[in-house]
Structure 1
């Protein structure tokens, strides 16, 4: 006996046997209500704090400064405070920088005026060196005859200590300020000449062949081909020259006198004010660091290569 079972059309989708090749249709509450109910706004996932980045970038400099302060404190204790402690030097620095631009005479001025005067000498001497050294580097690197003529002179004069040129400047210019600028000029010119010449010599020969085929003038070769290719080398020379100039100006001002951070250090030594000498050391380092950082940013902005300190 065969019995037939009849189902209503509403129940057919649930009770009908499925064919193996028939895709399943699964009804979910979200699918049934998606057309009628608006979607809830998605909540952005909160990014976890990057502790590894903090460990790599922030903690090592702090530990280095802490190590320096710790060694400084140990030396201060071992020398019976003949070297002032970090805390005493910090208190003196607060007093000193509360009025950095005072004037009490030609040889008694605030640390701000001394730093500005040293920076002015560095700017003038470095600017003159750039005006002479960069074109000279292009000429030496571009023309083989010029390179053969000037390479022996550069090899002879570059190792000479910058302070050895100071007496020559005093004899020629008859003044301490132009003599210091002359010393900055002579020590800053060599890095720019050498790096610019090396950059010109490393320009691919294919570039010069194309310029020869196009019959470009020497001015277009320099401005359109050589200058963009040599710019990273030239900026490297500028960075080295500025660092050398800032090192030399301190020693030059110790010998020539007048207003300047180097003379301020020597004057404080004559007064046996060790706290001010230590403060001056930190000021010199911070100013040099700022100059280096500014030139790194300049080089990064004007070159396609990553410039690292």
Structure 2
């Protein structure tokens, strides 16, 4: 008589066939306590791939930074009065030890100056988005409005942003709104053009279906145009924020008050070149954070990721 007996050990389980009391065959089965080990092992390739990709990205970046530091050191050794990387690092430690001190209108920490510049950028950029994005929709949607506004855009867009600063000073009689006006006028064009381009690229079949369904213009905007154009809008927003942060520094150099541009000019007057270099690096970091944040939002709302 042949029977089968299941034998379980601490590491594995197996089935033994017995014929008249004598074992005939063994059939090994999956180890009992290896499921957790297999789950951990299955996760290991993903972790290794992540760290490998991180290292592959970090090595070129660190190499580039190291090359920049070497060139910087050589330039400092061959130029009178130009600070070395070590001197700049010491100046940065002093600046960021108390970045938000306030000893008067013209003596404030670098943190307050960056925040003041960001506030001006937010005001001018926000107004540009409120006007530029709807204007882009109208230009891309209606040929009459496109024919009316395209010549004006072609005329005004090439004008240097700083050329608008005296107009802002004349209109508002104060430096604060004039700076925001300059940001507004320079950052509105990418949003208008990219939004209009996105609307123009919408397949005509979508609009034909909306016409057959007799959808009103607001529903067409909300259900068809906006979802399809959103990646183009976000691209325009990303370009605009880079331009806005670029221009605010130059605009603040020409106006008095609190702001990173004015702070740089004041440090130049005091011959604190190492502080200027610290401010340049800080401006680059803030601009990079703004752009990378908007790029992450743009990737989130692309068609491939939805």
Q: TM-score scaled by structure 2?
A: 0.86
Higher RCO (Cα < 8 Å, 6 or more apart): 1
* Distance across 1 between alignment mates of 2:134 and 2:164: 23
**Residue 301 of structure 1, CA deviation:** 2.0
* Distance across 2 between alignment mates of 1:266 and 1:146: 43
* Distance across 2 between alignment mates of 1:278 and 1:129: 31
* Distance across 2 between alignment mates of 1:221 and 1:59: 49
Pair 1:32-2:26 in alignment: yes
Pair 1:77-2:71 in alignment: no
- Matching residue within 34, 41, 51 for 2:34: 41
* Distance across 1 between alignment mates of 2:158 and 2:24: 81
What is the SS of the residue equivalent to 2:258? coil
Q: Flag the structure with larger Rg.
A: 1
The residue correspondences of 1:27-176 to structure 2 (distance < 5 A) are: 32=26, 34=28, 39=32, 41=34, 43-44=37-38, 45=41, 47=45, 49=48, 53-80=53-80, 82-176=81-175
Deviates more, 1:295-304 or 1:120-129: 295-304
* Distance across 1 between alignment mates of 2:48 and 2:62: 19
Corresponding residue for residue 207 of structure 1: 206
Corresponding residue for residue 237 of structure 2: 238
**Residue 303 of structure 1, CA deviation:** 2.5
The residue correspondences of 1:174-189 to structure 2 (distance < 5 A) are: 174-189=173-188
Q: TM-score scaled by structure 1?
A: 0.85
Structure 2 vs 1, CA of residues 34 and 250 (structure 1 numbering), >3 Å: closer, same or farther?
same
The residue correspondences of 1:237-256 to structure 2 (distance < 5 A) are: 237-256=236-255
Q: Which runs of 5+ in 1 are unaligned?
A: 1-8, 10-28
Kindly report structure 1 stretches of 4+ aligned residues shifted beyond 6 Å. Answer: none
Structure 2 vs 1, CA of residues 49 and 211 (structure 1 numbering), >3 Å: closer, same or farther?
closer
**Residue 297 of structure 1, CA deviation:** 1.3
- CA shift digits 1:153-187 (9 cap, x unpaired): 10000000000000000001000000000000000
- CA shift digits 1:242-278 (9 cap, x unpaired): 0000000000000012000000000000000001000
Q: Comparing both structures, which one devotes a greater share of its residues to strand?
A: 2
* Distance across 2 between alignment mates of 1:240 and 1:170: 26
* Distance across 2 between alignment mates of 1:202 and 1:83: 51
* Distance across 2 between alignment mates of 1:54 and 1:227: 36
* Distance across 1 between alignment mates of 2:28 and 2:69: 65
Structure 2 vs 1, CA of residues 173 and 305 (structure 1 numbering), >3 Å: closer, same or farther?
farther
Corresponding residue for residue 303 of structure 1: 302
**Residue 85 of structure 1, CA deviation:** 0.7
Structure 2 vs 1, CA of residues 40 and 184 (structure 1 numbering), >3 Å: closer, same or farther?
closer
* Distance across 2 between alignment mates of 1:129 and 1:302: 21
Q: Which runs of 5+ in 2 are unaligned?
A: 2-22
Structure 2 vs 1, CA of residues 38 and 243 (structure 1 numbering), >3 Å: closer, same or farther?
closer
What is the SS of the residue equivalent to 1:256? coil
* Distance across 2 between alignment mates of 1:266 and 1:30: 93
- CA shift digits 1:116-174 (9 cap, x unpaired): 00000000000001111111111111000110111111000000000000000000100
**Residue 233 of structure 1, CA deviation:** 0.5
Corresponding residue for residue 8 of structure 2: none
Task: Count how many residue pairs are aligned between Structure 1 and Structure 2.
Answer: 280
**Residue 34 of structure 1, CA deviation:** 4.3
* Distance across 2 between alignment mates of 1:59 and 1:260: 35
